[in-house]
Amino acid sequence: MSYQHSLGERARVRLAREGGVAYMPALARPREIAFHECSLSQRKRVCKLLDEAEQLKCPGDQAGQGDQRYFRIIIMPVGSENEVITLHVPERRAPESLVALWEKGPGD
């Protein structure tokens, strides 16, 4: 199932880079993307990245093993924390576009 078909206007996505030899709150720099604030092309871009993240993900307890960094993606299909899908993508597998989404947001 593609996120392009399952996420609507109410969806929110939270993305943080975690892991590493120490947990330092300010370095995780979580970013939240609210779909209702995004254009159609931005949403499509984010959904495409989420589809890719689905293929690159690994179990949570393996993502950070040995102090390796990873991206934790929380997908809230209806915009609330009652229903969430969590993906862990190891940093070494993360595409540049995912890193850019975390650093700069969904772009123009």
Partner 1 sequence: MKATRNNPYGVIPPHLLNYLIEHGNDRHRRCALNTLTLDSRFRARTERHTSPTDARRGARGEPLRYIFDAGNTMELPGRQVRREGQRSTGDEAVDEAYKDLGATYRFFWEVLGRNAIDDEGGALLGTVHYGEDYQNAFWNGYQMVFGDGDGEIFLSFTRALDVVAHELTHGITEREAGLVYYNQPGALNESVSDVFGVMVAQYDASQTVEEADWSIGRELLAPNINGTGLRSMSQPGTAYDDPLLGRDPQPAHMRDFVETNEDNGGVHINSGIPNRAFYLTAMALGGHSWERAGKVWYATLTDDRLANDAEFVDFARLTLDNAEQLFEGGEVREAVRGGWQGVGVEV
Q: Is 99 in the site for partner 1 (CB under 8 A)?
A: no
* One residue of 68, 79, 85, 105 binding partner 1 per CB under 8 A: 68
Burial of residue 87 (CB within 10 Å: 0-12, 13-18, 19+) is buried
Tell me the β-bridge partners of 40.
Answer: none
* One residue of 5, 40, 82, 96 binding partner 1 per CB under 8 A: 96
Cβ within 8 Å of residue 58, ≥6 positions away: 88, 89, 90, 93
* One residue of 38, 47, 63, 73 binding partner 1 per CB under 8 A: 63
Q: Is the dihedral of CA 48, 27, 63, 12 positive or negative?
A: negative
Q: Which of residues 19-38 bind partner 1 (CB under 8 A)?
A: 19-28
- Nearest-approach distance from CB 14 to partner 1, in angstroms: 11
Chain residues binding partner 1 by CB under 8 A are: 16, 18-28, 52, 55-69, 72, 86, 92-93, 95-97
